[in-house]
Structure 1
Amino acid sequence: MNNFGDLLGPLIVSKIVLDGGLTEPATQHRLLAVGSILNLARTGDVIWGIGANGKTLDRPAAYRELDIRAVRGPLTRAFLQAKGYTVPEVYGDPGTLVGRLWPREHTARGFRPRAVTVVPNLNDRHLAAGRSDAVDPTSDVRELLGTIAASDLVVGSSLHAIVVAESFGVPARLVTSSTEPRFKFEDYYRGTGRNEFRPAPDVDTAIAWGGEPLPSWDPKPLLDAFPRDLWVTASAGAPAY
């Protein structure tokens, strides 16, 4: 099943590779980017901006060695450090780069302006029941990007709806998930410099409260940490997003 966050990683990586003049892979190492997918890592994988999943923190790891370039936030960093890994203090979900890779004005073109868009987590779709302002997190990823870019406010329990909205400069408010632990949300907010955040108990309250303060966060360390060495470089230099 398609899920918004799961599809963002390949889209973002492909865009950076294309814009950076990178060509065929220079190595067979696997790159993990975007999502709470650390539990899916295997020995030798390259980690760029992913996080641990609060549901799987106690499960045995399937990896012994990782090439860690960046992680989603300080909670994931501490989790890996406790296992003996050296983890750079470079934070950020790569979804935070969406608004730089695909500017809001261009992305929203052709989409109906929306006052509010509700995006639930895949496992919280009851939050959207009967709401005309809700969208399905398994919709086409480019449709979701355009819808979020065309919105004045985004609320819901989908982490990547919040991440992408904020990357576009769209105010966003998290709604407490009935199925997802707090870990990944706190990891994201703290990774973008916000130690305090206030999830709403329900959609209507989230709309009434409006968005959290947008992050004041420098994307350069995350972009600089992108593992360009995994590809052959056809042209010199990297794009300035």
Structure 2
Amino acid sequence: MLKRKIRALFNDESAVAPVHAPLPYNHVSVYCWRPADGRVNFGDHLGRIVVSQLLASRGLTLEDEVTSAARMLAIGSVLHFAANGDVIWGSGVNGKVPESAFIATALDIRAVRGPLTQEFLRKRGFEVPSVFGDPALLVPHLFRERFECTGELPHVFVPNLHDLALVAGQSHVVSPLLGWNKVIAEILRARLVLASSLHGLIIAEAFGIPARYVRLSETENLFKYQDYYYGTGRENFEYAASIAEAIEMGGMPAFTFDPQPLLAAFPWDLWK
């Protein structure tokens, strides 16, 4: 019963609850997908957090009035929600959504999550720079003094929303429905992070913690995980089928992330 309720609640990928009421003047909005019940999914919400913090470094906000209104897609497998004129900075394709759902024909693309998203867009005639990286990788760079890796737990598991019911009652589970800062703090308590949440993996690796994808169900397409790993130069993508197997496998090989290309691709020009 619990599994059916949670799946019914979160399986609607098109259900979106507004994060904030629209402002009555030209501004730049950041698109963030949310579950139908209005709660906040950690990974998707990070888009607004990262953009806001980056803007704050130059004394700007998402509430600033600008010359021309714009919408930005920054984090998440949300390109099927893109509309003509949107600015893309680090988001990606969701492999489980039919390609026919992608209807945009004019996008301003500054960076994408990985080479699979780049290929998808180029086949449709878009100009896509070879600037890869999920903006969540910038969290340690943007919040230098905020978080600390403690390593007090041998491991934690961060489930994707659709896997949440599968691990109900288990120990060391970090719900993606917690506040973004709480999720990060809980991830940083571990020496090994296991996750079916893509951003559970990304945050762990951004802070240098070994991480392994655990495929508990077939709900999520492998596309977005492969896109991320290929974008970080790791084409030998291996995942575990259980938490026990993931503990035995340990984390994926580490990679070196240079934040400068992604930072340089940020669309500062929108805040004229």
Matching residue of 1:144? 183
Contact 1:122 1:158 (8 Å CA) reproduced:
yes
Matching residue of 1:54? 95
TM superposition score normalised by structure 2: 0.80
Contact 2:174 2:187 (8 Å CA) reproduced:
no
SS at match of 1:155: strand
Matching residue of 2:214? 175
TM-superposed deviation, 1:21? 2.9
Count of residue pairs brought into register by the alignment:
230
137, 161, 168: which one aligns with 1:122: 161
SS at match of 2:90: strand
TM-superposed deviation, 1:2? 1.2
TM-superposed deviation, 1:58? 2.0
Equivalent-residue separation in structure 2 for 1:8 and 1:148 (angstroms): 15
Equivalent-residue separation in structure 2 for 1:146 and 1:61 (angstroms): 35
Aligned-residue identity in percent: 47
Deviations 1:115-140 (A, max 9, x none): 21100100011442331111111111
TM superposition score normalised by structure 1: 0.90
Equivalent-residue separation in structure 2 for 1:40 and 1:25 (angstroms): 24
Equivalent-residue separation in structure 1 for 2:146 and 2:247 (angstroms): 26
Q: Structure 1 residues 83-92 or 18-27, which shifts more?
A: 18-27
Equivalent-residue separation in structure 1 for 2:232 and 2:142 (angstroms): 18
Residue ranges of structure 1 left out of the alignment (5+ in a row): 233-241
Equivalent-residue separation in structure 2 for 1:210 and 1:20 (angstroms): 40
Q: Structure 1 residues 174-183 or 23-32, which shifts more?
A: 23-32
Give the root-mean-square deviation of aligned CA atoms: 1.7
198, 211, 234: which one aligns with 2:251: 211
Equivalent-residue separation in structure 1 for 2:180 and 2:146 (angstroms): 15
Matching residue of 2:74? 33
Matching residue of 2:147? 107
Return closer, same or farther for 1:199/1:8 CA change in 2, 3 Å cut-off.
same
Matching residue of 2:54? 16
Deviations 1:43-66 (A, max 9, x none): 100000000000124224232200
2:85 is aligned with 1:44: yes
Question: Which has the bigger relative contact order, CA under 8 A and spacing at least 6?
Answer: 1
Counterpart residue type for residue 41 of structure 2: N
Matching residue of 2:41? 3
